[in-house]
């Protein structure tokens, strides 16, 4: 794209190709003040007069970056005032909310942002976000590294329900050139230049090396491949939807009929049932999908029967040869998914995927005092993680909790911390041998914790290990960074 007009033309073409919202629709732009969202706002204002869209903007203050975040908000207010665009602003303490709800900081920030955008748009409105072609390449590479299937390798879609991505065909260079030629100012988030998160490392380290190795344009080629795979995924999805409609009997599907389907369709039917039970489009991880399919297999010793715990407080239940998905009922017998999970060696550094849908990322950092500690993100002395495994609670487990005095029974600690009975056996336990190091959301070993070591003045210098958890389906979603 060689001119501002060419980017605007590409945006308008993308809008028309995807069957965009009807004339007169309300479209809310997620505006951070960064180059991507600033470009999106200007481009939509330039191309949508014939469509008579009502363009508005929404800015979320995450409460994480102090004066810099305040300056972002002030910039967005001034920008929207100059363009006569209505702006909604919301302040949220994301760190406190993440700790209170047991989510990672990144997942909580993304969830809050999209919830705010949807609420601002209302039930009949649309949300436009500024993901572009380079973001698409990053997402596909991250999904590939996690062993994603066709849907994950297809990346983000230009339209997903009422969510629009009009810049998905534009590159980051196109966006910066558009802003430069029109003299449009924008804000820059310095944290995007720090290789402390997976997406940042892919953008700053992996993609430049691939460009150097293959002569450039790797992001373009990955995005092109994703677009082709998206067509295949959409076709398979339509076949699965038709098959599901033909198989379902009320809220159930006969296991024999499901097992008779080609595996790609059977897996999609299971994920469609899960999305329907949740009431949203959160995807189900590959491992969880396979566990449900195994539950329905006709060659099980006692035939299809049992339960599998699923993210979101749901479980898959098979009884009398029929599969159903519903909320977990307190007081029922333990679900199959509640049985002891396989002990997995923690990859340090690296990513460990548990069978029940947890994505565990361990990275080396130098300044643990700068990270935000939450119930799902903590920093550890590296030597204490030698031989660490991720497993379920075992009889006799003990821990020396940070802030406590001496060793305590993990079972008693879970009771004292008022962890519901049905959740105790599902607790994720990080342990080196018989020594419990961390139970996310419950307790951390005082000697292993970097925070405790620094408070005691015994931290020394060198690298530390940050461990962060998200549900596998959430990890595959594109991260909503500031500065977009």
Walk me through the domains of the chain, giving residue ranges and CATH numbers: 4-192 (3.40.50.620), 248-337 (3.30.465.60), 340-474 (no CATH)
Instruction: Using pLDDT thresholds of 50, 70 and 90, give the confidence band for residue 305.
Output: low
Cβ(27)–Cβ(89) under 8 Å? no
**Is residue 357's pLDDT more than 80?**
no
**Is residue 478's pLDDT more than 50?**
no
**Is residue 336's pLDDT more than 60?**
no
Instruction: Using pLDDT thresholds of 50, 70 and 90, give the confidence band for residue 484.
Output: very low
Instruction: Using pLDDT thresholds of 50, 70 and 90, give the confidence band for residue 332.
Output: very low
The predicted structure's pLDDT at residue 330: 43
The predicted structure's pLDDT at residue 300: 58
- State which of 105-119, 181-195, 297-311 shows the largest mean pLDDT: 105-119
Q: Residue 33 region, left (φ>0) first, then alpha (ψ -120 to 50), else beta?
A: left
Instruction: Identify the weakest region by mean pLDDT among 5-14, 109-118, 205-214, 446-455.
Output: 446-455
Q: Each residue of 432-458: pLDDT tens digit?
A: 877 899 998 888 998 888 876 555 454
**Is residue 337's pLDDT more than 80?**
no
The predicted structure's pLDDT at residue 239: 95
pTM for the model: 0.66
**Is residue 370's pLDDT more than 80?**
no
Instruction: Using pLDDT thresholds of 50, 70 and 90, give the confidence band for residue 475.
Output: very low
Instruction: Using pLDDT thresholds of 50, 70 and 90, give the confidence band for residue 262.
Output: very high
> What is the distance, to the nearest Å, from the Cα of residue 87 to the centroid of all Cα atoms in its chain?
26
Section 147-174 average pLDDT: 91
Position with higher pLDDT, 408 vs 357 = 408
The predicted structure's pLDDT at residue 194: 66
Position with higher pLDDT, 284 vs 303 = 284
Instruction: Using pLDDT thresholds of 50, 70 and 90, give the confidence band for residue 376.
Output: confident
**Is residue 2's pLDDT more than 70?**
no
How far apart are alpha carbons 474 and 460 in whole angstroms?
Answer: 35
Section 213-237 average pLDDT: 91
**Is residue 306's pLDDT more than 60?**
yes
The predicted structure's pLDDT at residue 121: 94
CA-based Rg of the chain, rounded to a whole angstrom?
24
Q: Each residue of 29-65: pLDDT tens digit?
A: 999 999 999 999 999 999 988 888 999 999 999 887 7
- State which of 124-138, 426-440, 456-470 shows the largest mean pLDDT: 124-138
How far apart are alpha carbons 41 and 79 in whole angstroms?
Answer: 10
């Amino acid at each position: 794209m060689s001119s501002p007009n060419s980017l605007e033309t590409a945006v308008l073409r993308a809008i028309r190709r995807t069957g965009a919202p009807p004339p007169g629709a309300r479209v809310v732009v997620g505006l951070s003040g960064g180059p991507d969202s600033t470009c999106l706002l200007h481009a939509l204002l330039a191309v949508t007069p014939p469509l008579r869209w009502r363009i508005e903007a929404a800015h979320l203050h995450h409460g994480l970056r102090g004066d810099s975040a305040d300056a972002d908000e002030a910039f967005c207010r001034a920008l929207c005032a100059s363009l006569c665009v209505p702006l909604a602003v919301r302040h949220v303490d994301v760190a406190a909310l993440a700790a209170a709800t047991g989510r990672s900081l990144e997942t909580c920030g993304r969830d809050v942002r999209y919830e705010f955008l949807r609420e601002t748009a209302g039930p009949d409105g649309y949300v436009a976000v500024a993901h572009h072609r380079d973001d698409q390449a990053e997402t596909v590479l991250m999904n590939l590294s996690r062993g994603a299937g066709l849907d994950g390798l297809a990346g983000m879609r230009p339209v997903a329900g009422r969510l629009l991505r009009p810049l998905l065909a534009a590159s980051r260079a196109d966006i910066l050139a558009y802003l430069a030629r029109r003299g449009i100012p924008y804000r820059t988030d310095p944290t995007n230049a720090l290789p402390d998160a997976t997406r940042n490392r892919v953008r700053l380290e992996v993609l430049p090396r691939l460009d150097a190795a293959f002569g450039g344009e790797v992001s373009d080629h990955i995005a092109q491949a994703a677009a082709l795979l998206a067509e295949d995924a959409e076709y398979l999805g339509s076949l699965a939807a038709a098959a599901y409609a033909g198989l379902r009997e009320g809220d159930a599907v006969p296991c024999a009929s499901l097992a008779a389907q080609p595996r790609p369709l059977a897996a999609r039917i299971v994920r469609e049932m899960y999305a329907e039970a949740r009431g949203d489009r959160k995807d189900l991880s590959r491992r969880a999908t396979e566990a449900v399919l195994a539950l329905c297999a006709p060659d099980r010793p006692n035939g299809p029967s049992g339960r599998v715990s699923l993210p979101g407080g749901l479980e898959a239940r098979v009884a009398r040869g029929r599969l159903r998905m519903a909320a977990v009922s307190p007081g029922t017998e333990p679900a199959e998914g509640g049985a002891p999970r396989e002990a997995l060696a923690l990859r340090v550094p690296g990513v460990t995927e548990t069978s029940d849908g947890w994505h565990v990322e361990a990275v080396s950092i130098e300044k643990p005092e700068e990270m935000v500690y939450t119930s799902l993100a903590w920093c550890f002395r590296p030597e204490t993680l030698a031989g660490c495994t991720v497993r379920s609670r075992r009889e006799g487990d003990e821990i020396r909790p940070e802030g406590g005095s001496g060793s305590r029974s993990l079972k008693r600690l879970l009771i004292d911390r008022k962890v519901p009975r049905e959740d105790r056996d599902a607790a994720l336990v990080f342990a080196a041998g018989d020594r419990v190091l961390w139970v996310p959301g419950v307790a951390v070993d005082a000697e292993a914790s970097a925070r405790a070591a620094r408070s005691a003045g015994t931290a020394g210098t060198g690298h530390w290990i940050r461990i962060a958890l998200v549900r596998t389906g959430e990890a595959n979603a594109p991260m909503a960074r500031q500065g977009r």
